[in-house]
Amino acid sequence: MKNFFIKSLNGMAFGLFSSLIVGLILKQIGTLFNIEFLVYLGGFSQLLMGAGIGVGVAYALESHVLILISSAITGMYGASSINFVDGQAILKVGEPMGAYFSVIFGLLIAKRIAGKTKFDIILLPMTTIIFGCLLGKFFAPYISAVISEIGIIVNKTTELRPILMGLTLSIIMGVILTLPISSAAIGISLGLSGLAAGASLTGCCCQMIGFAVMSYDDNDLGTVFSIGFGTSMIQIPRYTKKSFYMDTAYSFKCYLRCTFYNCF
CA angle 91/136/138 to nearest 5° reads 120
pLDDT score of 263 more than 60: no
Domain boundary among 138, 172, 204: 138
pLDDT score of 131 more than 90: yes
Same domain, 194 and 158: yes
**Structure letter (DSSP) for residue 264:** -
- pLDDT band at residue 128 using 50, 70 and 90 as cut-offs: very high
pLDDT score of 264 more than 50: no
pLDDT score of 180: 55
Q: Would you call 237 exposed, middle or buried from its count of C-beta atoms within 10 A (0-12, 13-18, 19+)? A: exposed
Same domain, 159 and 251: yes
Same domain, 132 and 152: no
Domain boundary among 138, 158, 174: 138
Task: For residue 74, list its beta bridge partners.
Answer: none
- Structural domain includes residue 129: yes
3-state SS record for 71-104: HHHHHHHHCCCEEEECCEEEECCCCHHHHHHHHH
Same domain, 43 and 86: yes
The tens digit of pLDDT for each residue in 38-67 reads: 999 999 998 998 999 999 999 999 999 999
Same domain, 100 and 203: no
Same domain, 81 and 155: no
Same domain, 128 and 157: no
The DSSP secondary structure of 19-46, one letter per residue, reads IIIHHHHHHHHHHHTT-HHHHHHHHHHH
Same domain, 134 and 23: yes
Same domain, 97 and 203: no
pLDDT score of 63: 92
Range of the domain at 96: 2-138
Rg (CA), the chain: 21
Provide the whole-model pTM.
Answer: 0.70
- Give the chain's domain count: 2
Same domain, 174 and 70: no
The tens digit of pLDDT for each residue in 220-231 reads: 787 777 777 666
